[in-house]
Structure 1
């Protein structure tokens, strides 16, 4: 050391700059449920306002084109022909109730006739369907009887043919073969029951032998 003070300068630390949180841009972000609801409400409100404006325009047009000219004409007619206008007013006033009664009666009569026609139509349809159902039931009963009779005829024909064949081949001794074959053929519908019983007996015998 030469006695001289060596001054070492240290670099100052960099001050961290505050970072601001980034805000996501709404562009490209899918709409939320609230935004969709607000959009739907604004659309409905716009449609309602448009409909109200159309109604106001049409009402004002009706007032300007029909009601005001009619009022002006009625006032002019009352000034020019007071007796005739008074008579027409009284006639219209007294005829309003009969005309309304006639229209109501006509409407009720039309509804009554229409309802009666529909009721009669449904009743007629029900009667026709019941008659057709009865015919169908009779046809099914006849078909069942004919099927039973034809089945018996086929079985009888088969028995006669088999008996004839066995008697021609073996004579009187063919009766045993005929009876055996008849039992096998006719009992084929219940063969599953016999097989089930035999299987149960065989299983019981095996269990007894094991014990």
Structure 2
């Protein structure tokens, strides 16, 4: 174990505080580990939301050893595929920490358990799937609503803005354009416009005057 300078000891202590905060923020899905690369045989200095089964005092990983050997080793490796000892899929990020001399003294590693997210993704895919082969012919949203929304989107694109960011004068100009196009006579036109602009129907009627 290399003797730590006051600067190195301070960096490691601050890194432990950062890890504690990240661990609390992303619990329980993300394991946060601080590696002391000055003591590779007992590198794990702190571990939060333990998902890998490691403990404080465990040795450095291959990535940690690579940084010890090469000061030019990539400092940030983000979102790489990994795996916990029990086979669970993980997404990992490793950040090397250097001292004032440019040497690696520590690493902050985050390992996200993807198991729950993969299950949630599968459940959501099943939930949003629809049967198009046997679906009855029904339209809850009138076809004219798409025309109105498209016309609004074209209008705001010319102004380089968004429907909900339009100013009052711009909304009035938009309503006049929709009126000229005959779109205000469509069924539920005011409701469609109000929803797309994020305003009340009363406001839309006022802009249309």
Q: Same fold (TM over 0.5)?
A: no
TM-score range, shorter chain: under 0.3
Q: RCO (CA 8 Å, sep 6+): is it higher in 1 or 2?
A: 2
TM-score w.r.t. structure 2 length? 0.17
TM-score w.r.t. structure 1 length? 0.17
Larger Rg: 1
Richer in helix (by share): 1
Richer in strand (by share): 2
